[in-house]
Amino acid sequence: MLKSMTMAELKVLAEKISADNRSEGIKDISANPLTGSITIMYDPSAIDIYAYIKDLAASEELHHLTLRGRENRPY
């Protein structure tokens, strides 16, 4: 789903995640233009990153953000 997002959409998503879901141990969340993905920099001794990502993936609000505007796209 992220791969089909524009860079502007990825930046908005990264900013939304950073603003709403910043946990202790997360150092930075940003859009990666080279891979079309979100990069999460974190301190592995301070956070269970797998649980954090699982919680993000289950977030209805973030799911809605990734789907917004996709209904009319041919790809």
Q: What angle do CA 72, 58, 19 make, to 5 degrees?
A: 85
Task: Answer with the residue of higher pLDDT: 8 or 25.
Answer: 25
The separation between CA 27 and the C-alpha centre of its own chain, rounded to angstroms, equals: 14
Average pLDDT over residues 9-23: 76
Tokens encoding 43: 């301190």
Query: What CA–CA distance (Å, rounded) separates 72 from 39?
Result: 27
Structural domains of the chain, with CATH: 2-67 (3.30.70)
Whole-model pTM?
Answer: 0.65
CA atoms within 13 A on the CB side of 24: 2
Average pLDDT of 56-74? 66
Residue 68, pLDDT score: 59
Q: Which of 7-21, 28-42, 58-72 has the lowest mean pLDDT?
A: 58-72
pLDDT at 70: 53
